[in-house]
Structure 1
Amino acid sequence: MIVWISGAHGVGKTTLATALAGELPGAVVADLEPIGRAIRETLRGHPCARQDHESCPPWDATAVAFLAGLHAYTGGPVIVPMTVVDQALLAALLTVLSESADVHHLVLHADPTVLKERIVSARMPGEDSIGAAEIRAARLRHLDSVCRAAEGGLHADGHVIDTSALAQKQVLTSALAYLADREATTCAACEDGRVPR
């Protein structure tokens, strides 16, 4: 299966992905950010370059091929902590991925005030560097667009877990319960000839 985890910066996507990988046998966490960096670097100065790599067709094609290939190679769950703000693009990605694996979409939510507090107080790699301050500023800038995306349909397209008042362990427990329920539903479908992927 492929577990896609959406949510704003600071909501706990990477933390949950790492925790799930520790609980699901054979699981791997797939980071799509290096694909975006590679595309930006490759197209730097080119007329086809775009500020947002997600709006660049090579990104989604490469991401899908990478995730499907990783799933086929490992045979275990592939966990993807990544928010795609463009809902049509995310739906297309999940649809294509569902051709090669069972896809589950988790959406982590938290009150915007809680998210801002988490972003401001979070320790980052190279905390004393200018780069850390720039990352924090960028996350705060993107917070509104992700919150708008949630209101515009992100929550409707996935299983929402509100992390505002939950400890990390509680978020993990909620995610595992949802995935177990979905797997049980899939196994029931096996009686009709469907094989879990």
Structure 2
Amino acid sequence: MIVWVNGTHGVGKTTTSRLVQERLPDARVLDAEKVGETLMDVSPSLPWTGNFQDWDPWRPLVVETARRVLDFAGGTLVMPMTVLVEGYWREISDGLAEHGIPVRHFVLHTDPDTLRHRILHDEVVGPSTFRLEYVDRYAEAARTWLHAEGEVVDTTTIGPAAAADRIASAVLAGEPAR
């Protein structure tokens, strides 16, 4: 099984995913961003589009990497990755379904003001213009498709540990996150 932790940049996916992994038996974290970083290392460079997710190889490589890791190691993969383009999400989720891999898709959400505050005051990464560029893109995806596609975990008033508790409890119980 895959537990996909989606949401915009800066909402806490990586931290929450590590905590979810600790709460699920036989779970590992696989960050799909590493697949993008591998493609970014191709030399000479692939034509830059502004985001490695736009490269056609990225999405099937994410599917294939997850499939191969699950075939090799079994268990559960917790995958933190922002996917805000509906067609990209469909390509990934359909690809995983074709291999018979169940996916629980969670979306970490916080209100825009709280999100901007977190991004501007992040003590680990520091203020990030990259993350800020995605606040409105996330809001549009959330409004048009993303929240309907995933189980929304509102993190406006809770931290990563509480979000991880909700996700892990939902996965273990086979019920929606509350």
Match of 1:27 in 2: 27
Q: Measure the CA separation in 2 of the matches of 1:45 and 1:3.
A: 31
Query: Could you tell me whether the CA contact under 8 Å between 2:30 and 2:79 is conserved in 1?
Result: yes
Indicate the residue corresponding to 1:80 in structure 2: 79
1:92 Cα deviation after fit: 2.0
Q: TM-score scaled to structure 1, two decimals?
A: 0.81
Query: Which residue in the other structure is 1:100 paired with?
Result: 100
Higher alpha-carbon Rg: 1
**Which residue of structure 1 aligns with residue 164 of structure 2?**
172
- 2:7 aligned with 1:7: yes
> How many angstroms apart in 1 are the aligned matches of 2:49 and 2:42?
11
Amino acid at match of 1:20: V
Task: Give the alignment partner of residue 144 of structure 2, picking from 149, 152, 175.
Answer: 152
The count of residues paired between Structure 1 and Structure 2 equals: 175
2:109 alignment partner in structure 1:
109
Q: Return the alpha-carbon distance in structure 1 between the equivalents of residues 52 and 34 of structure 2.
A: 11
* TM score, norm. by length of structure 2: 0.89
Could you say if the C-alpha distance between residues 23 and 106 of structure 1 is closer, same or farther in structure 2, counting changes exceeding 3 Å? same
Paired residues of 2:10 and 2:115 also in contact (CA < 8 A): yes
Please state which structure has a larger fraction of its residues in helix.
1
Contact (CA 8 Å) 1:43, 1:49: kept in 2 or not?
no
- Given that 1:26 and 1:74 are in contact with CA atoms closer than 8 Å, whether structure 2 keeps it comes out as no
**Structure 2 unaligned residues grouped into runs of 5+:** none
Distance of 2:44 and 2:113 partners within structure 1: 36
Q: Which residue of 1 aligns with 2:42?
A: 42
For 2:155, the equivalent position in structure 1 comes to 163
Partner of 1:120: 120
1:62 matches 2:61:
yes
